[in-house]
Amino acid sequence: MANTLRILFVDDHPDTVRGMSRFLLHAGFPVEGTYGVGMALRILRESGPFDVVIADMGMADGSGIDLVGRIRGGVTETPSTGTQRNVFFILYTFFSEEENFRRHGIDKWVTKPNVLELVGILESLREHERGRS
């Protein structure tokens, strides 16, 4: 991983995707944003791998838990993108169901609208990766 984390932000509300993408870019984290589980899976297959996926819990075509299950199950792997199974998965949600999230392989979760906590997690991940380089 280079100096920049590859981040995919997934939500089914275009305003949220645009706003969070701009906010995170301003905080020093370039983000690719997409709308919903289906589009996220396509992007992961076509342009992965990503280091971090940030997803909403409830979307029109599935949930963040559905998305992490499909990623961890290998559905996004291709010869060109390789494995996505080790992606760091952050759920960005209004809900706080710690036991349920842990059981489904969610690495971290941030309760909306706490964007500063989200930035803190990304800063920690970036520093960790820089230390490994």
Nearest CA to 53 among 20, 116, 6? 6
SS3 state of residue 70? helix
Domain tally, the chain = 1
The domain of 94 spans 7-132
Does residue 126 lie in a domain region?
yes
Q: pTM for the complete prediction?
A: 0.86
Residue at 92: amino acid letter: Y
Does residue 2 lie in a domain region?
no
Q: How do residues 21-79 score in pLDDT, each as one tens digit?
A: 999 999 999 999 999 999 999 998 888 789 999 999 999 999 999 999 888 887 666 65
107: CATH: 3.40.50.2300
Does residue 118 lie in a domain region?
yes
Does residue 1 lie in a domain region?
no
pLDDT for the residue numbered 96: 72
Cβ contact 8:34 at 8 Å: yes
